Chain A
């Protein structure tokens, strides 16, 4: 097992190298000159000199300061070297380190991701099990119909409707901001409920598959109550593939946080990224993209490992 874990992390190294190369190239592929952007579009949005012109000398100085005068592979090398040490660059706008912006805001995104993920698993597994054990009935059909609606719903629109009804209409929850449990409820529902539809569909199909297995027949033949059969023998095996989808969902949640945090004006990684895009603050965008992609890769490795740990049939390394 430990060999498998080590191997899994080693395999991620080339992927992460590729990811950082793409993210590095992103800044160079932009149709704008970062030096000019830095000199003319900084903070106040005005030109640095009264005449509104920049001298060649200023341009060269800034270029040197940003390290853009060096050859591309040297630039990538130092980009990588700094990133490994946790230096993800500095904002053009606030001059703050991107890493510290992440540190200041990650807890908001983490609590949102945790809350919506828990919600999606709770609702998804319960509905999926109900649909599966009532297979072929109107209850099954009804749950599946609702879940198709769920996967088809733009989550940001669902968020807007929640604000409309529960904040503006009923006044139960604040329509914006973060801090406290009440501010977390609506965004967590907006992300968690559409995600739960995917979990419900997968739980159902996986449990239906498991229910056909011989050991389920054996369990019933032993005279166990149906509840015990489903919970102990069925669900335990049916939930293994669900673990994978939960890992993939995490990526969707990270992406979704871009939109949901914007809808709810809620601080977090997504909100910072979107604002950085609007402000043409490209180093911040670059640092955020690199951080989120790395996080996603690490989470997926952890999901793979837990998958191998949960399901003894899966052992990719042959030994252990």
Chain B
């Protein structure tokens, strides 16, 4: 297993390099730059600004310089926010996105697994219909509808919460619930499908024939196999959920990384785009590796190869 992990980690280096290179050049070839504004900057001022950020150097030189600073862990200064570096911005925003992500993920798993398992073991009964319908609604209703609906009901009508913000612990409830519900819907459907497939397997019949209790059959034997599709889904989903959600962060005014990731591209904040892309890529690669390891652990038919 260690050899497998070491090899996968080594493979990560060229993958990241390709991602960095592609992003670096793609964002430079997009029309408009960090200083393109409605009130045009005069040519002499633009020249000075470009000199300050090294944009007057040939592109290959800028690329090599960027890689050089990256090796020292320096993601560069932000173009949009002159008094902050990209390292600082990520350092500030990532913990917020992580907090939002972890709570939402807990909500998603708690709700999704419960609904999925219930629907599978009570297949074709009203419980199944209720759970499956709830999951289908969760998938169909986008966060920018669910979020404001929750705010209208619980913040404006009942007055229990603030409409938005990230100031006190209670401010976490509505955004985490919104984000959690969407993922819960997917998890519920995948759990139900996975469980149904496993519950028809011979080894489940064997377990029942041996007199194992229904609870033991479900949680000890079926759930482990039933969760395989959920685990595959969770790899990229966790990366997405942890690095923030642009929509949720904007609706609820949360100072997370998701907004920076999207806005940096709109602002042509070259260094911030690269910084957030590198972080995203690393997380996705890392979590996919974790998923592969967990899958082998869950499914004895798979091997580290």
A and B physically associate: no
Chain A residues in the interface with B (C-beta under 8 A): none
Chain B residues in the interface with A (C-beta under 8 A): none
